[in-house]
Structure 1
Amino acid sequence: MAFFDQFKEQCPDWECYVDHEFVRQLADGSLPEASFKHYLQQDYAFLIQFIRAWALALYKSRTLGEMREAQAGINALLDLEIDLHIKYCREWGISESELTALDESAACVAYTRYVLDCGMSGGLAELYAALLPCIYGYAEIGQRLSQQDADKKSIHGINPYQSWIDMYASSEYQAVAEAAKAKFDQLCMEAAEPQLAQLQKIFNTATRMEVAFWQMGLDLS
């Protein structure tokens, strides 16, 4: 079993994360629009900090190959993903000026600063342990929801959130998640037992932060 799969199996909150009520309501289209829009706005704030984390991955890299991997992540986020997110938010009636002016929720601040702290105080392995629940979790959720709703219908007819599901179920995103998983496994192979135990703690905490991020979307705070 790959290291990542072991970490996931030993994480007590993984199922709470990938099968959260927010996710269930996304799947059947019943999620209130206000909750989704609040989530989208906070996800923009999250992406800004995520870019900083990848920049930290570049700094923490030990080889030219790792530097190039981190640079590719930064470029993808700055040159593509953030613009796509802004465009997607616009489709939901959220302007770019609204996004740049918004206040980060407590859940977003806690999660993103935790990730950055893990990277600052540790190495590349610690940073990946904090990032992987997000990167791979969304891929798993996208795949699950896509399989559950193959005919793209919801209890309300066409699911208004289907494009979000399709994005994370796409082969492109699945490939990104698998690459990150493979890199994490490589880093874990080089780690001693005490470090692996610490990485599991980081992974577990980041997963709890993901649960709180979904709940933030439902609570609108």
Structure 2
Amino acid sequence: MYGATFAAWRAEAAEPWHAYTHHPFVEGLGDGSLPRAAYLRYLVQDYLFLIHFSRAWALAVTKAGTVDEMRFAACTLDALLNEEIALHVATCAAEGLDEATLFTAEELPQNIAYTRYVLDAGHSGDFLDLLAALAPCVLGYGEIGLRLSAAKGKTPYADWIDTYAGEGNQQVCHEVGALLDAAVTRQLGDRPMESPRWPQLSHRFVTATRLEIGFWDMALPE
């Protein structure tokens, strides 16, 4: 769907990947059964997540091995800070949550665990480590959006679904998949799965996927 590397990691992470992309929170978005309070809880935490996600893409600029990789990371950072976060703020404002409320909200443990894991992957590893930790969010949301959009269910969360199923986001997903494939080929060669680094990178992808599950869990009523 989004490149050979993603397809391979997704297959190796089949069980947690399904749990992430078919989580009760996700299914509730699709059929409209998700409690509004859970959605608002998610929106607040997702704002904080996007702040750290932006920092991770800023880190990607310094970890990149080519000018093209630097340009891509810089463009992604710009889009996050000046487009996606602004869109998120507008969405929250419509729900009665202003940006000051979002910025000063308490960051929950599941959010801390996930975002700091991604940042640590970049600080302690290289560009591939960082991409492996970033990929589940970028590409998972794209996959979820497409699946829920295809179901054409009537739901109050249609705007969320349309955002991630939309042409703009799907283009980003394909570009990230191509970036990942190119970086893997550059560093690991034409047979990356035979590289001694492959299991470590695959494990990073699995770990980030499991942390995505925890992020969904965080929003649901206890």
- The TM-score normalised by the length of structure 1 is 0.93
Which residue in the other structure is 2:9 paired with? 7
Contact kept? 2:118, 2:130, Cα under 8 Å:
yes
Q: Secondary structure at the match of 1:3?
A: helix
Which residue in the other structure is 1:188 paired with? 184
Task: Pick the aligned partner of 2:220 from 196, 205, 218.
Answer: 218
Residues 98-152 of structure 1 show CA distances to partners (whole Å, capped at 9, x for unaligned) of 1011011101000000000000111111100000000000000000000012xx5
Which residue in the other structure is 2:70 paired with? 67
Aligned equivalents of 2:81, 2:8: Cα separation in 1: 32
Which residue in the other structure is 2:33 paired with? 30
Aligned equivalents of 1:59, 1:128: Cα separation in 2: 13
Listed as ranges, the gaps of 5+ residues in structure 1 are 154-158
Which residue in the other structure is 2:112 paired with? 109
Contact kept? 2:142, 2:164, Cα under 8 Å:
yes
Residues 194-217 of structure 1 show CA distances to partners (whole Å, capped at 9, x for unaligned) of 111110000000000000001111
Q: Which runs of 4+ in 1 moved over 4 A?
A: none
Which residue in the other structure is 1:178 paired with? 174
Question: How much has 1:4 moved relative to structure 2?
Answer: 1.2
What is the identity, as a one-letter code, of the residue corresponding to 2:36?
E
Aligned equivalents of 1:87, 1:218: Cα separation in 2: 23
What is the identity, as a one-letter code, of the residue corresponding to 1:165?
I
What is the identity, as a one-letter code, of the residue corresponding to 1:40?
L
Which residue in the other structure is 2:204 paired with? 202
Aligned equivalents of 2:157, 2:66: Cα separation in 1: 40
Contact kept? 2:38, 2:221, Cα under 8 Å:
yes
Task: Pick the aligned partner of 1:122 from 125, 137, 146.
Answer: 125
Question: How much has 1:61 moved relative to structure 2?
Answer: 1.3
Task: Pick the aligned partner of 2:85 from 71, 82, 86.
Answer: 82
Residues 14-37 of structure 1 show CA distances to partners (whole Å, capped at 9, x for unaligned) of 000000000011101010000000
Identity of aligned residues (%): 46
Which residue in the other structure is 2:142 paired with? 139
Which residue in the other structure is 2:162 paired with? 166
Is 2:52 the partner of 1:56? Answer: no
- The TM-score normalised by the length of structure 2 is 0.93
Aligned equivalents of 2:164, 2:6: Cα separation in 1: 19
What is the identity, as a one-letter code, of the residue corresponding to 1:181?
G
